[in-house]
Structures are given as structure tokens and as C-alpha cells.
Amino acid sequence: MKRRSFSVIPLFAAGICLAVLVLVAPSEAISHPKYKLSGNDIVPNRYVVEFDEGDSKSANSFVHSVQSKFKKAKLHIAQEFEHNLFNGISFGLNGLDEKDHTEALKSILDKDNVRAVYPVRAIPRPEVNFEKASTKDKTPTLLPHAMTQVDRVHSELKKFGKGIKVGVIDTGIDYLHPALGGGFGKGFKVQYGYDLAGNAYTGYNNPVQDSDPLDSCTAESGASGHGTHVSGIIAGYDEKTNFTGVAPQATLGMWRVFGCKGSVGSDVLIKAFLMAYDAGMDIISVSIGEKNAWSSGPDTIVAQRIAEKGIPFIISAGNAGSEGAFTVGMPSTAKDVWSIASVDNDFQLMKKFKASSIAEKLGYSTSSTKLVDGEIVIGDKNIGSGTDACNPSNVPDLTGKLALIQRGGCTFDVKAASIAGAGGIGVIIYNTNNGDAFVPSNPSATIPVVGISTKDGLAILEGIKAGVETIKFDNEEALYPVTTGNLVSDFSSVGASYQLDLKPNIAGIGGRVFSTLPRFLGSWGIMSGTSMAAPYVSGSVALFIEAKGYKKNSQIISQQFKNHALKLVHAKGNSAIQSPLLQGAGLVQVYDAIAGKVRVSPTQISFNDTSSFAKYKTQTLTIINTGKARTTFKVVNEPSIAVAPYNRTAQGYATLAPTGFSNAKAKLTFSKTSVTLNAGQKTTVRVTVIPPKVNPKDHIMYGGYIRFKAGNQKTALDVTVPYFGVVGKQRDLPLFDKDYPYLSDPTGTPVFLKNQTYTYDRSNTKTTPTIVYRLLTPTAKFDVDVLNAKTKKSIGKTLTDSTYIPRNTFATDNFMSGVSWDATYVPSSISDIQDKVPVPSGTYILNLRALKLLGNPKDPKDWETYQTGPIVVKN
């Protein structure tokens, strides 16, 4: 049954190659305060309903009452959450025509015990690229434990996470892997868990559940082995090769929420969160998220409620760093959840290859399995252009040859397709910006794709220019230093949240992490992502809890970790401190977190933007000495580099991707610049910010760290608190990009100007009017009114209650979005919930409104609007 009047339409607008017009939200025929529609990627006909607390019979009576009224309804209960943290169910509703479907939803929303109904959203599986690797005897150096003091916790404190339960929500686990215990259940490393998905689950169909969280996919299925990799990072241990996870004696739980391919429904995610909580996990580790820096939706709500119960709820921040500021993702944006940034490992393992003109063997990375040797030639006539092999017409004939090109300008799949199209048998891509060898992500490439360093690429280019150059790939592996080691990974998502909460909160090692893979993928491999950083932190917390206790006290644990995290520099050759919007409190230092006897809270400060300046400019820190030694601390401001999200002269308010930076620094004044604390004593320090004097139109996000510098470093460690703020008012940011929105047909072209009349023939879907928009800035509220073209008065709404829409980016599948209108509306004459009804034939104007960022919905000035030209609706 078709249940939506908006549809997903590919759009090929002038000048935007391959950009796809994506559905923003379905237009359910419902306007109701309890109906919570937010974000993108709605799963059709599936809903989460939350009942009042303690209403335990609600699920049965719910089905009964709907079924008795709507005889044709096929009501399928998908998940039941009879829980004090979230009492509800998810259900599929099918078999009804649109009108009855609406009626049925209406009757549900009208029930007194129903608190809210949320359409289920599909949350994508985490993107990773992985390389197979062997362990041999390189693991000790390859493991990043020296960067995080995990090595000292193992060797000096002898803590290995024994008895601590870490619950993982992921793609399942190959627990038969020798490094993961070789079994499931009591007595094994993997003792808890459940399969909530089944191999065929995609997020859009019905999951098939059973009690075994084994990743039983195959290499051919396209499965990535993500959950097995994540689990190895937390608790893997292999005696033969000395591979050691962060907490190798911890006990694992795995709640499998993905099939071999595809997404997970938010309802299945909620169920997994609650099951992990009920199984008594001491820590919950989730490497899943959306590209949306709001904090909304029932899964985010449940994560927050579990965090409020004191369970450290640890979630990857996201891998959208290349798309600039405000890319941290839900559900890691929930207030008390730990949002985890990624830092690159110092070492990587690479296979070697020989180029004929170069004496020593060079290192390469790949996720392709069958490499071919041969002659290599230049793969783009403008090699080094920044868009090598993006445009097939620049690719020469490559029949039977390997091709050399540079990274950048388009996806690796596009490049590989151009090379293959010209007869190339493989492609070697060298990095930009003097970068290392990297793993290209090329899920649909038909030829092998290999990533090498800039330096090696340019050397091979010289060889090609000098004569015939050939390449021979090896299987031998060697350790190479990573030039970006100990820096925030370039993919790691950047804060803040749209509500200006400081996210990410803290960093783990996520760039080039060696860990376990399912045996069907070769048992060992390297992956990169905040997906790897989150379990790294989870394992670290397991070590802490074993050493110090504080079970169910996420607040204290997070203070210990954040206060003692290591502040990283911005870049090699730039010793400025990295912004907390990239590294949070910094890189975890587990030994110090355990040893630290002084705590300061809150653990982070948002001074907010200029609109809220008066309210947030002064904040109070409390510092407590839980140790035995009297210690004096100096209070100092250590400003970091600032995040400059925009360059107005270059591209207006389109967020820079990746983000820009600035040297703007805030001054801080403290009520005391020195504090002395006896054993057990605490005191407060008030801090007031003087933001940098920069143009408020640039919305610079300044930041830094407040450091309590211990006078005697033998008796106490320094403790720090990250802070940030925005110079400028977020609600001044324009929402829509230049030349948007516009009215069009469902293909997105042509563009109809306001003085042109658009004709919609209801019998011809090719004429469905569509508003195409591109959001530079996200909006918390979005609706569309239908106006009588003559009177310009609203007769009702066609899109209601769409909330928490993220901004568009430069990615082709997220460049612009569309709202199409099927000439129906919810009449405003009656204020109660209404069915959508067709408008009579006639002429109408659509009026779109979107609330400015952090705007006040009651203030008309805080809305941005767009009116179409006249739309003639014909029957």
C-alpha cells in the first residue's frame, strides 16, 4: 500500500552531475502533537508507539482495539519494549487503504495511554573499509596501547577487564574465532547476546530473531565483519600471535542488529539497547549512527535514559569529518552519552610491491582481493588535477595496463569505473597532501584498486615518464609508521551538535586499527572509523571499572577519563592544540584516569552563541581532591585552534568540507587563579569568557581547555576541562542555498520561476509539482501550507510536523532534497487530526516554512519562507 505522497526521485539538475533528489520526510496524513516525525529514511508503514509508564497490558489491548475497528488491518507487532525505561511496541500496519490507514493511526494517537508515535527510521550500517592482514609477530608494535597508557594498565596494574561485562550492539560476532573465545554462553568470553536481525534483514523487511548472535554471513554476502572487529578491539586475545585487545579478560555481550547487508530499523536498535541493559552490561558500546547532529528520535531517547541510569553508553561520533562542522551523529548526540572521536594509530601494517624503477619495495593498502601485476601508465591526461579519472573523457586508452592516478574529486568507485571503461586492468591511487598509503573504499569496483602514499605515487610517475614501468605485488607485510599517527583522523566527525552541545566528548584510537575479522573473511584485518574508536574507549572503561569500581556511575567515570585525557596537536607542523570540537576532551589516557585523585566538573563547557551569551558566559567549576595530599593548582586557559565552518567569500554559508580553522582565541577570567585543596576538600571557580573579536558573520567556533595545573606533579596530576563557544548568532544563518528552493517537475528540471504557471494533471504523475531545496543550515521544524492563489490565504497544510532535518552536504546523495505535492492537504478549518483530502481543481501556491537554527518558533522573524508561483491543479 502506498502510504506517502512524497517520493524519492533521482534528479539531474543543471550543473550538478549525478546529484540525487532525496526524500526529506514522508507526508503522513497526520497532524497530531503526539505524532513525532523527525529525520530522514523512514521505514514505510512501521511505527514505534510509547505507552504510559507501567501500563503493562498495553500491547495486547492495543492490537485488539485496532484490529476490532479495522477488520482488514494486518497489524504485526515487530518489537515489544515492556520496560520501565521505554514502555511500548513497534508495529507494522498494512492491508488498509490510505484513508483507513490514517484513521487507524488516528485512533491509536487518540488513546489516553499512548504518549507518542514515531515512524521507524532506517539507520545505515557503519561504513568501513577493511584490509585483510596476518598477525605474525608484529602485533605488539601494531597495537596502539602505548598511545593510551593501556600498556601500563596491563603491565603495571595487571588489570585486563576481568569480570567486567561489555555489551556490543553490532553486526554479530564470529565467536568461534580463537581470539574471541571459541564459543558462546556461560564460561566463554562471549557470554551474552541475541540475534535481533537474521542474515536477510535489511532494516526495511521483518527481522528473523534467534538466540545466537553469530555472524553467519559469508564472504560472498558482502558482509564486512564489523562486529567481530569491534569485539576484538575490546576483548580479543590470541596467545599464538600476542594480539591483545584493550580489556582481554572482559566478558562480552553481542546484540546483533544487522543482516549481512543493509540498515537497521530504529525499533530493533531500541530493543537491542534495552536487552543489553537488562542483561546487566556494565558498559554499552555502539558503533552505529546517523549523519544528523540533532538529538531526537526514540533510539536517542532510550540511549539517554540508559545513560541516566549510570551505564557508560559509548557511541561512535561518525565518519563524516570530510563534510565539515556539525557532522557528529545521533544517537551519540544524546546529552549523557559518550560521543567518541577517532585518532590515528602510530603504526600500520602494509603489504609490499615492487615498481621496476625504484630499488626498495613500497607499501600499499587495498580491500581488493585479486591484484594483478603488469605495466603501469598514466590514467588521466591531467594527472594530479584533483579530479583524476572522474571524467572518463580524460582517461586515455589503457587496454591491458594498470593505471596511476591521484586521489580526489570523486569516489574511488567512479575512478575505477573510468579506468575499467578504458580497458585498464587495475588502478593505483596515490594520496593527496603528502598523505600515507590508504585503503580506498570501492564496493562496486570491477578491477582491483590500491592506495599508496603521495611520495611513492610521484616516484612511480617519474618512472613512467622515464620509460616502461612495471608493478609486481607481494604478499609480504611490513610495519610502517603513520604520518598522521596521534592526530585526530581526517574522517572523524566534527562537532558541535546543532544545539551547541560539546560533541564529540572524548577520543579513542580508530584510524588503522588491527583486530579480528570473521574467519570467513580471513580472521585478521585493519579497519578505520570512529566505529573502532568507540570500542577502544569501551575497553578502556572496562579496565577502569575493574581497577576502581564505580559501576553504574558513568558520571564519575567520565569525569576521571575526560579530566585526564591527552590534548593532541592540530597537525604535524602545527603545534596549536586541536579543537575540542574534533577531539572532545582529548585522547583517553587510561592509567591517569585510574590514578587521578582530583576531579573537576562539569567536564565540558559550552558558552553557546552570541544570542544566549548572557545566560552562558559565566559558569562554575567544582574541583574536588579525593586524594591524601594537599595540592595547589594554578588555573590557566589553554586556547585551541578555532573551527571556522564557513568561508563567506568562497562559498557563502555552505559549510566548508572539510572544515576550515582559525587562530581566533577566547580570553577567560577566573574568580581564582590558584586553588589549594586539602585531602577531601572541594572548592568552586567561576569562569567567564571574553570571546575573540572576530566578525560575527563568520560564526567562528573558538575553544580550548581550562587546565588546573598541579603545583607538585608527584602528588597530583593536571586536570582539564574543554570549552567552546560561537561568535555570532546561529539563528542568523541562512537556511536555503542561493537559487533554492525552486518549483519543478519530479525530475527537478525545468526550474519554474514565480512568474511562471505550473500545471499539475493529477492523472499524470510526471507532472507532480516538487519543491527542490538545499539546506545550508539544519532546521528543527519544517512545514508546507497550501494557499489559495487569489486570496493568498492558507487553506491548510500539506506537510506538517516534520522536525529535526539535517543540513544538505556536498555528497551526491545528499546534495538536495525534494518535497512533492499530490494536491492533497489537511484542512485547517478543523483543528483536530484530519485526513488529507484532495484540493478542488483550481490554482494554488505552496508556502514552505523552515525554522532558523536555535530560532524561536513563536517569532515570525525566525522562520525562513519560500512561496512557489501559481500551481494549476487539473483533474
Ligand X SMILES: *[C@@H]1O[C@H](CO)[C@@H](O)[C@H](O)[C@H]1NC(C)=O
Cis peptide, bond prior to residue 334, ω within 30 of zero: no
Kindly tell me which residue out of 499, 626, 828, 867 binds ligand X, with binding defined by CB under 6 A. Answer: 499
Q: At 827, which amino acid appears?
A: P
CB of 719 to ligand X, least distance (A): 21
Q: 3-state SS of 409-478?
A: CCCHHHHHHHHHHCCCCEEEEECCCCCCCCCCCCCCCCCCEEEECHHHHHHHHHHHHHCCEEEEEEEEEE
Instruction: Give how far Cα 331 sits from Cα of 12, 497, 588, Å.
Output: 32, 11, 21
Applying CB under 6 A, does 414 fall inside the site for ligand X?
no
Of residues 633 and 752, the one with the C-beta less far from ligand X: 752
Kindly tell me which residue out of 195, 299, 436, 501 binds ligand X, with binding defined by CB under 6 A. Answer: 501
Of residues 194 and 607, the one with the C-beta less far from ligand X: 607
| Helix, coil or strand: residue 713 | coil
Instruction: Give how far Cα 773 sits from Cα of 13, 27, 768, 811, 850, Å.
Output: 12, 16, 16, 15, 11
CB of 138 to ligand X, least distance (A): 9
Distance (Å, whole) CA 177 – CA 181? 7
Stretch that binds ligand X, among 245-253, 493-501, 734-742, 845-853 (CB under 6 A): 493-501
Q: Is-contact 601 621, C-beta < 8 A?
A: yes
Distance (Å, whole) CA 462 – CA 449? 21
- Cell of residue 601, nine digits: 566538573
Of residues 366 and 558, the one with the C-beta less far from ligand X: 558
Applying CB under 6 A, does 242 fall inside the site for ligand X?
yes
Instruction: Give how far Cα 9 sits from Cα of 12, 531, 779, 858, Å.
Output: 10, 31, 22, 33
CB of 179 to ligand X, least distance (A): 14
Residue nearest to ligand X (CB): 650
Query: Active-site residue 83, yes or no?
Result: no
Residues 344-383 that bind ligand X (CB under 6 A): none
Write each residue from 554 to 593 as x if it is in contact with ligand X (CB under 6 A), else as -, in one continuous string: ----------------------------------------
Of residues 550 and 661, the one with the C-beta less far from ligand X: 661
Of residues 319 and 659, the one with the C-beta less far from ligand X: 659
Of residues 242 and 788, the one with the C-beta less far from ligand X: 242
Query: Active-site residue 531, yes or no?
Result: yes
CB of 660 to ligand X, least distance (A): 5
- Cell of residue 505, nine digits: 566528548
Residues 606-625 that bind ligand X (CB under 6 A): 606, 608, 612
Applying CB under 6 A, does 603 fall inside the site for ligand X?
no
CB of 700 to ligand X, least distance (A): 10
| Helix, coil or strand: residue 221 | helix
Closest C-alpha to 839, from 862, 861, 823: 823
Adjacency order of strands within the sheet including 751-752: 21-23, 816-820, 770-773, 742-744, 751-752
Stretch that binds ligand X, among 451-459, 498-506, 627-635, 680-688 (CB under 6 A): 498-506
Distance (Å, whole) CA 527 – CA 534? 13
Applying CB under 6 A, does 753 fall inside the site for ligand X?
yes
Q: Is-contact 298 50, C-beta < 8 A?
A: yes
Instruction: Give how far Cα 10 sits from Cα of 19, 739, 817, 818, Å.
Output: 8, 19, 10, 10
CB of 663 to ligand X, least distance (A): 10
Stretch that binds ligand X, among 105-113, 158-166, 395-403, 499-507 (CB under 6 A): 499-507
Write each residue from 24 to 43 as x if it is in contact with ligand X (CB under 6 A), else as -, in one continuous string: --------------------
Distance (Å, whole) CA 800 – CA 567? 45
Residues 803-862 that bind ligand X (CB under 6 A): 854
Residue among 32, 226, 229, 564 flagged as catalytic:
226
Residues 78-97 that bind ligand X (CB under 6 A): none
Of residues 137 and 360, the one with the C-beta less far from ligand X: 137
Of residues 440 and 495, the one with the C-beta less far from ligand X: 495
Residue among 41, 170, 195, 718 flagged as catalytic:
170
Kindly tell me which residue out of 211, 393, 755, 875 binds ligand X, with binding defined by CB under 6 A. Answer: 755
Applying CB under 6 A, does 140 fall inside the site for ligand X?
yes
- Cell of residue 659, nine digits: 572544515
Closest C-alpha to 104, from 47, 56, 53: 47
> Which residues 6+ apart lie within 8 Å of 685 measured at CB?
620, 621, 623, 635, 670, 671, 672, 675
Of residues 455 and 617, the one with the C-beta less far from ligand X: 617
Q: How many C-beta neighbours within 10 Å does residue 551 have?
A: 16
Adjacency order of strands within the sheet including 42-51: 74-82, 87-94, 42-51, 114-123, 264-265
Applying CB under 6 A, does 649 fall inside the site for ligand X?
yes
Q: Is-contact 451 429, C-beta < 8 A?
A: yes
Distance (Å, whole) CA 87 – CA 53? 6
Residue among 285, 531, 554, 579 flagged as catalytic:
531
CB of 236 to ligand X, least distance (A): 14
CB of 701 to ligand X, least distance (A): 13
Kindly tell me which residue out of 108, 246, 452, 500 binds ligand X, with binding defined by CB under 6 A. Answer: 500
Q: Site size for ligand X, by CB under 6 A?
A: 16
Closest C-alpha to 392, from 367, 361, 424: 424
Of residues 690 and 753, the one with the C-beta less far from ligand X: 753
Stretch that binds ligand X, among 103-111, 206-214, 249-257, 494-502 (CB under 6 A): 494-502
Residues 416-475 that bind ligand X (CB under 6 A): none
H helix or E strand, kind and range, residue 122 = strand 114-123
Query: Active-site residue 226, yes or no?
Result: yes
CB of 645 to ligand X, least distance (A): 11
Of residues 391 and 647, the one with the C-beta less far from ligand X: 647
Applying CB under 6 A, does 249 fall inside the site for ligand X?
no
Applying CB under 6 A, does 134 fall inside the site for ligand X?
no
Binding site for ligand X (CB under 6 A): 137, 140, 242, 499-501, 606, 608, 612, 647, 649-650, 660, 753, 755, 854
Catalytic residues: 170, 226, 531
